[in-house]
Amino acid sequence: TIQVCRIQIKGMTCTSCSTAVESALKALSGVVGAQVALATEEAQVHYNPNIITHSQILEAVDEAGFEATLIS
C-alpha cells in the first residue's frame, strides 16, 4: 500500500530550491510522487514503505542541502 508522509523543509528560498528538492524526492526508488510547496516549506511524499523508509526520504532532502523534519 502506498503511504503519504509530510515533511517540513527548511532553507528553501527560491523556486529552483523547491524544484531541486522535488526532483531529488521523485528520483528515489520507492517514491511514487512528491509535491514540494515553497510557501509553506512542506513536502508531501507518496511512497511504498516496502521499498523506502521515511528516514531515507528525510536523508535525501538533507543530502540535497536542506533541513528536513517529519511532520506526519
The residues that touch ligand 9UX, with contacts defined as CB under 6 A, are 13-14, 16-17
Set of cell numbers at residue 48: 511504498
CA dihedral 33, 37, 44, 46 (to 10 degrees): 0
Minimum distance from CB of 10 to ligand 9UX (Å)? Answer: 12
Minimum distance from CB of 17 to ligand 9UX (Å)? Answer: 3
3-class secondary-structure state, position 18: helix
15-26 helix and 54-63 helix, angle to the nearest 10 degrees: 140
Minimum distance from CB of 18 to ligand 9UX (Å)? Answer: 8
Which of 5/17 has CB closer to ligand 9UX? 17
Which of 18/58 has CB closer to ligand 9UX? 18
